[in-house]
Amino acid sequence: MKHAIHNLALAVLLLGTVGAVAQSATEPMSGLPLPPGFKRTADPVKSYTYCGKSASVAAYFGDGFADEDHEKAWFAHAVPRAIPITAVGGVTTFVKPDGTAAVETGDEFIFYFRFSPGLSPAEIKIFQAAPAAKACIAD
């Protein structure tokens, strides 16, 4: 009986460890924090060229935030020194200062971006104006 309880406790411990490892707190493509309750959509990572640089975007879906204000506050804290911009309609994009990664918030959907090499400050301004756009066009 004592041996069976020990084996059961060991199995529970191992299963808990596997679950903790499977739930990553970082989005793998961008390296930015991934909030709890969000999972990658079935859409493949999309690659394109932005301002002559390699760009990729991945979509996530979830219901981890009570509202958009909580979502924005979470990312503002989780991505220190990020450059935030809120577009008309309430979508906020947080860009790493080096321009290599960004996350676009939007309630139930979050989009992560990766740029290689990183965007320049001027390119970040263009990207922030329309993050979903694939063209690098200054206004």
**What pLDDT shows up at residue 86?**
80
- Return the percentage of the chain with pLDDT > 90, whole number: 44
Give the mean pLDDT of 20-41: 82
- Assigned domain for 139 exists: no
Give the tens place of pLDDT for each residue, 69-98. 888 899 999 998 998 888 777 788 999 999
Q: What percent of the chain has pLDDT over 70?
A: 79
d(CA 112, CA 45): 10
Residues 117-135: pLDDT tens digits?
999 988 888 887 776 677 7
The strand pair at 101-104 and 109-116 is best described as antiparallel
Residue 114 in domain = yes
* Structural domain count, the chain: 1
Assess if residue 12 is contained within a domain.
Answer: no
40: containing domain = 24-129
Q: How far apart are CA 38 and CA 12, in angstroms?
A: 25
Q: Is residue 11 part of a domain?
A: no
pLDDT band at residue 138 under the 50/70/90 scheme: low
Domain membership of residue 10 (yes or no) is no
The answer to whether residue 16 sits within a structural domain is: no
**Is 109 among the domain residues?**
yes
Give the pLDDT confidence of 93-117 residue by residue, as tens digits. 999 999 999 999 877 889 999 999 9
Residue 82 lies in a domain: yes
The pLDDT, as a whole number, for residue 132 is: 67
Average pLDDT rounded to a whole number, residues 37-62: 93
